[in-house]
Amino acid sequence: MQPVYTLPFSKLSKKSVALAGGKGANLGELTTAGIPVPPGFVVLAPAFEHFLEETTLGSDIDAVLQRVKHNDTNSVEQASEKIRAMFMKSRLPKDLIAPVAAQLKTLKGEFFAVRSSATSEDSKSASWAGELDTYIFVKPKDVAQHIVKCWSSLFTPRAIFYRFEKKLHKAKVSVAVVVQEMVNSEVSGVAFTVHPVTKDRNQMIVEACLGQGEALVSGRITPDTYVIDKRDFTLLENSVGQQNEQIVRYPKGRSKIVKLSAKAGSKQKLASKEIIQIAKIARAIEQHYRSPQDIEWAFARKKFYLLQARPITTL
């Protein structure tokens, strides 16, 4: 029987974490629940394992990791450089290129987001959020190369340290890759369905910024912050951030940081009705999972898109 190396979101659910990683499984779950998710597919964890076998990288990586002194920054960085260089010298085997190309043909996007999704990611006890790589505005012809880059991000210095810190260095940690049509966001942000500071479960926080959400996630800008009462969707607090720059897409697909005027950066990023709209979607996701959620979203052409949902691990 032919191994399955890719699956569309519609064929995945929250039970697919071992195959699709936390991010991929959640996007599948949200898709089948009717939440507006940009279409895409997942390069499954067995594809990564097959790649390691075909390129014989698996044993080489193990040999490097066995020599790591995880409390020594230089040791971790040197190991990371060695391992990632091995990946960059390798290419996808033909039996992986074909299913990826077939999935891409089913999508209409001009550009794609290619995002890592570790199979031990986003559980309630551990989260790889922020440890692994994401690439935006990737052209179809470059998707295969960026899949390999995502796999290699399992071995960045931060990810190697995290692996030792969480005592996962002897465990089998695999990684899937999400390939998703890129939303050219006018506004983007995050939503926490429980107030992350006060822990008030009757309140949620929505943060919003102009352009792509990487500016917010990386801490480059100060977003708008809206506090909403989950019981009746009353807007309790409305703090407009002064945004000095935003990440935008240029026609050829490159993302670029552009400066904003004081006037443009000081405007409220979402209208009141849009704040309530994203709050209701976030609340529906929380009810679906029956647990507090950390959500990433994008807004383009008067429509919200959900890019990710994961459990809040800090409560």
Enumerate the domain spans of the chain. Answer: 6-181, 187-311
Which of the listed CATH numbers 3.30.470.20, 3.40.50.300, 3.40.1180.10, 3.40.50.1110 matches domain 187-311? 3.30.470.20
Q: Looking at residue 122, what is its pLDDT? A: 45
User: Which pLDDT tens digit goes with each residue over 84-96?
Assistant: 999 999 888 899 9
Would you state the pLDDT for residue 147? 96
pLDDT 10s digits, 46-91: 999 999 989 888 888 888 988 888 788 899 999 999 999 999 998 8
Question: pTM (2 decimals)?
Answer: 0.85
**Percent of the residues in the chain that have a pLDDT greater than 70, as a whole number:** 94
Q: Which amino acid is at 211?
A: G
Predicted confidence band of residue 129 (pLDDT cuts 50, 70, 90)? low
> Tokens representing 186?
């006018």
pLDDT at 273 over 70: yes
Q: Which of the four pLDDT bands, split at 50, 70 and 90, describes residue 170?
A: low
Residue 41 CA to residue 181 CA, distance in Å, equals 9
Collect all residues with Cβ–Cβ distance below 8 Å to 24 and sequence separation of at least 6.
Answer: 9, 12, 16, 42, 44, 117, 176, 177, 178
So what's the pLDDT on residue 125? 42
pLDDT, averaged across the chain: 90
Say what the pLDDT of residue 128 is.
Answer: 57
Return the DSSP state at 89.
Answer: T
- Alpha carbons 308 and 206: distance in angstroms, whole number: 14
Label residue 247 by pLDDT band (50, 70, 90).
confident
Tokens 């999972």 sit on residue: 289
Min mean pLDDT across 141-145, 199-203, 212-216, 223-227 is at 212-216
Single-letter amino acid code for the residue at 222: T
Least trusted range by pLDDT, from 67-76, 164-173, 265-274: 164-173
**pLDDT class of 124 with cuts at 50, 70, 90:** very low
Distance CA 82, CA 169 (A): 17
User: What gap in Å lies between CA 116 and CA 133, rounded to an integer?
Assistant: 6
32: confidence class by pLDDT, cuts 50, 70, 90: very high
* Residue, of 184 and 9, whose pLDDT is higher: 9
Residues in the chain: 315
Give start and end residues of each alpha helix (H) in the chain.
Answer: 17-32, 45-55, 57-66, 73-88, 94-105, 143-152, 157-165, 214-217, 262-265, 272-289
Is pLDDT larger for residue 38 or for residue 132?
38
Amino acid code (one letter) for 244:
N
CA dihedral 152, 163, 212, 305 (to 10 degrees): 100
3-class SS of residue 133: coil
d(CA 309, CA 191) in angstroms, rounded, equals 9
Q: Which residues pair with 248 in a beta bridge?
A: 256
Is pLDDT of 127 > 80?
Answer: no
Give the three-class secondary structure for 26: helix
Going by CATH, does the domain composed of 6-181 fall within 3.30.1490.20?
A: yes
Bridge partners of 210, per DSSP, are 187
Spatial CB neighbours of 114, under 8 Å, sequence gap ≥ 6: 134, 135, 138, 143, 146, 147, 149, 150, 177, 178, 179
131-163 pLDDT, tens per residue? 788 898 899 999 999 999 999 998 999 888 888
Tokens of 244: 């000095």
> H helices of 94-247, where?
94-105, 143-152, 157-165, 214-217
